[in-house]
Amino acid sequence: SAVISQKPSRDICQRGTSLTIQCQVDSQVTMMFWYRQQPGQSLTLIATANQGSEATYESGFVIDKFPISRPNLTFSTLTVSNMSPEDSSIYLCSVLWTAGGPAEQYFGPGTRLTVT
């Protein structure tokens, strides 16, 4: 399986500022995803990070608010822009792992964001 790390693990930010979250994988992967988990809720896909092209965003999420970069096959960043308290969530990076069997999906440890 893939080993995924995220930075920062947690942060407390002020309203109106931006935070960039990094996701690093120990192996090359084709597909990387960013999910959001609001307090007490389930996970919702924000976007799929595509290497060499624009990210694909889900309904309700826009590039201006959540710009994503994917410069290579092992790294991606998610920026949460112009933050408000409603952005307080756990943000999780996920990768698609195909190693001869069915494609499995693994998650990073998450970034716990609190906006004050």
Partner 1 sequence: AQKITQTQPGMFVQEKEAVTLDCTYDTSDQSYGLFWYKQPSSGEMIFLIYQGSYDEQNATEGRYSLNFQKARKSANLVISASQLGDSAMYFCAMRGMDSSYKLIFGSGTRLLVRP
φ, ψ (nearest 5 deg) of residue 38:
-75, 160
Minimum distance from residue 68 beta carbon to partner 1 (Å) = 15
Q: How far apart are CA 104 and CA 50, in angstroms?
A: 18
Interface with partner 1: number of residues (CB under 8 A): 26
Q: Between 31 and 60, how does the x/- string for binding to partner 1 read (CB under 8 A)?
A: x-x---x---xxxxx--x-------x-x--
Run of H or E residues at 21: strand 19-25
Which of 19, 110, 113, 115 touches partner 1 by CB under 8 A? 110
104 binds partner 1 (CB under 8 A): yes
Residue 19 pairs with which residues in a beta bridge?
Answer: 80
Residues 6 or more apart from 71 whose CB is under 8 A from it? Answer: 51
Residues that bind partner 1 (CB under 8 A): 1, 31, 33, 37, 41-45, 48, 56, 58, 90, 92, 94, 96, 102-110, 112
